[in-house]
Chain A
Amino acid sequence: MTGLTDIRLIDFSSAGLLLSAILLVWRRDLLAMVKIISAQGFTLVAIALLEGLRSGETTLLLVALLFFVTRVIAIPMALRRLLRGSSKELETSPLVNTASSLVIAALLSLLAFLVAQPLIGSSHSAEVILLPFPLATFLVALLIIVTRSKALSQLIGFLCLDNALSALALIATSGVPLVVEVGVSLDVLFLVLVLVLVIGKMQEKILHTDLSELRELHE
């Protein structure tokens, strides 16, 4: 495979990362959102794999495997199990309607491309030009966390945030040391499990997961 096609494939996967984030903004159906986040995990695996093949570093292949196990299999499975318990709560109640949030997502992506310019200038590696994609995904994920009020949607937004950061690590630095990458991935896995358990308890005790109605603790 020539270097050029390789870069194009990574390019393609990074675009997929951002695209899936925007799909998350668009969709309200929680089950569909879980599918999208799983697909996004797959784009992350692709980036790690391609980056590993290109640079010849075997640790990146291990990272790809790790991402596959956590982001594509384990986490979506936990999310799906959670949804099975509450079939009546499929729709989310967003604070901002779909059209406006898509416009905001577009503006945020534009902002990411502007912010990334000085960073791109300061490095010599070829794939650094892809930096705007994970940055834009990061901002769009923030948008999801801020505008959604269902616990599960916020959790998915958080996962999207994390995927964006992992992609940023792969693209900007060709992967941080393996021990860090493994630690981060395991931590994310644990965190999601914690949140899944908390949501499960919420469904059991409070009988809903709408965070805007969690108002017992305040000043």
Chain B
Amino acid sequence: MNGIVLVLTIIAPLACGLLTAVFGWRVLFGWMQVAASLLTLGAGVFFAFKIHTTAFYYLEGMIRFDAVSAWMLIVIGSVSFLASWASIGYLTADGENDKLSPSQQRTYGSLIAVFITAMTCVVMANNLGIVWVAIEATTISTAFLVGIKGDSKAIEAAWKYVIICSFGIVLALLGILLIYFGAVSARISPNDALNLSVLAHNAKRLPVPITGLAMAAMMLGFGAKVGLVPFHTWLPDAHGQAPAPVSALMSGVLLSVALSVLLRLKPIANGALGVDFFRNSLLSLGLLSIIVASLLMVGQKDYKRLLAYSSIENMGLIALGAAGNSKLVLEAVLLQILVHGIGKAVLFIGAGQLHQLTHSTLVSKVTGISRRSLGLASLIGIAMIAIAGLPPFAMFGTEVTIISSLISARLLVPLCIAAVFLLLAFGSFSQIGIEMLFGEPASDESKWKLSPYFIFPLGFGVAALFGLGFFGGVLNLFLHTSAALLVVR
């Protein structure tokens, strides 16, 4: 039964992609993709009830499914549910500038399915080689999605995206080879030398200099995909140029799926190199990302880029939390991954609707949304409050938990730096948000006609944000089990 559900979560989106590739894109296939995402979400919830401390292993240990995978499946399912719904809106848009040709629609529909499936594979894989291949598959499938508009800006963004991410991923491959080398020389059987759980179990036997080098390479390499500094530069371009639902998927799940790989590496690093190495590396990568992102958010003129920098900043904060080793802070990390995913998906889908209405991603062209559509303004406004980390939304709690974990670890200097730059980011985010929502309208004040394909997912997303804020407690038990798996003793 369990195996069947897992196979279905992989096959269902792929089948939609295949149908689209063969017959061209149809609205029906779009709805099937939405259903497949719901299936993924359902599978995550199904396992959330089933899995407690055990994990399922398949294919000679190459596939592992535990509570953390189930959690990530929920994240993938809920964000792709929103994004696939909005994709129908994106593909059926009839504005002159937005209309994609049938062949572009076909590419879009089939690649987004490959993209979602590849992310599902990453969170289930228990073999570093498969993790690598699946992460690279996300790069390949999204490269075309980023450049789908085919104008010079989109091509430039696609090029930067592929080159920087591949560069990062090659670095990660170097790390994987080195750890294989280390594991084999520590007399771990070559068949198991890339198996994450075997490596974690035998971490104390791994040779120190090679494992250190390997970990550094993998953290930088996979960190590129998380959007952590120094290889973050692809992110604003790709998020800015990609179609809005794709940006929603990249920002909402792709980044955190890559981060979940780092979380899986932690027991290996801590076992072989001591607690400090992994903690200090993640702390510095996270802090640097927060600093760079918040500085670039100041006075940002493009709202999609603003959202992209906000994602880098959030990933930095999540990395700070992931550096900790208490159950509480890891619970906060997992919850923040989900809330950030849904919140960012709502904001990017909202950005997509704005772009369709105004044909611009410039803040100055899209001011005064509340005068033109109160409904859209309130949905976007609520999601902005949620992403900014204000109560009653769950990110308020998770951010406070992550920050206070720095206090209890007596990391006061990082704490102060993080606090200052998070405030700066908060300031610029809300300033631009207020200007867009309540400023003077850039052109006329005529009412907008909104697309239901955008408004419904927006409504669902905002409802989910409220639900997680008020009734997030129902997840506690599941969060406890998932976070307990990530604590390294």
Give A residues with C-beta under 8 Å from B: 118-119, 122-124, 138, 145, 151, 154, 158, 161-162, 165, 168-169, 172-173, 176-177, 179-180, 183-184, 187, 190-191, 194-195, 197-199, 201-202, 205-206, 211, 214, 216-217, 219
Contact = CB atoms under 8 A, between A and B. Distances in A.
B93 interface: no
8 contacts: A122-B209, A123-B181, A179-B129, A180-B194, A191-B136, A202-B159, A206-B156, A217-B237
A191 B173 contact: no
A194 B165 CA distance: 13
Interface stretch (B3-11, B67-75, B137-145, B446-454): B137-145
B167 interface: yes
Interface of B: 127, 129-130, 132-133, 136-137, 139-140, 143-144, 147, 150-153, 155-160, 162-163, 166-167, 170, 173-174, 177-178, 180-181, 184-185, 190-191, 193-194, 207, 209-210, 236-237, 240-241, 296
A184 B156 contact: no
Contacts of A176: 129, 177, 180, 193-194
A140 to B, nearest CB: 14
Given A158-B167, A162-B170, A187-B137, A173 B180 contact: yes
A205 B150 contact: yes
A219 B167 CA distance: 22
A158 B166 CA distance: 9
Contact of A194 (B143, B178, B185, B193): B143
Contacts of B153: 216-217
B437 to A, nearest CB: 24
B229 to A, nearest CB: 14
A172 B166 contact: no
B205 to A, nearest CB: 13
A137 to B, nearest CB: 12
A154 B159 CA distance: 11
Given A145-B167, A191-B136, A216 B129 contact: no
A176 B176 CA distance: 10
Contact of A138 (B140, B174, B190, B209): B174
Contact of B140 (A122, A151, A187, A205): A187
A177 B191 contact: yes
A108 to B, nearest CB: 15
B209 to A, nearest CB: 5
Contacts of B170: 158, 161-162, 165
Contacts of B127: 180
A58 to B, nearest CB: 15
Given A122-B185, A217-B237, 4 more contacts: A195-B162, A205-B151, A214-B156, A217-B236
A162 B174 CA distance: 10
A201 B155 contact: yes
A139 B110 CA distance: 37
Nearest to A219: B296
A191 B166 contact: yes
Contact of A123 (B129, B166, B185): B185
Contacts of A169: 177, 180
- Most A C-beta atoms less than 10 A away, residue of B139, B160, B174, B237: B174
A151 B159 CA distance: 9
B181 A173 contact: yes
Contact of B163 (A124, A138, A158, A217): A158
A187 B129 CA distance: 12
A198 B140 contact: no
Given A161-B170, A173-B181, A183-B129, A194 B162 contact: yes
B147 A198 contact: yes
- Most A C-beta atoms less than 10 A away, residue of B129, B194, B237: B129
A217 B167 contact: no
B207 A165 contact: no
Contacts of A119: 181, 209-210
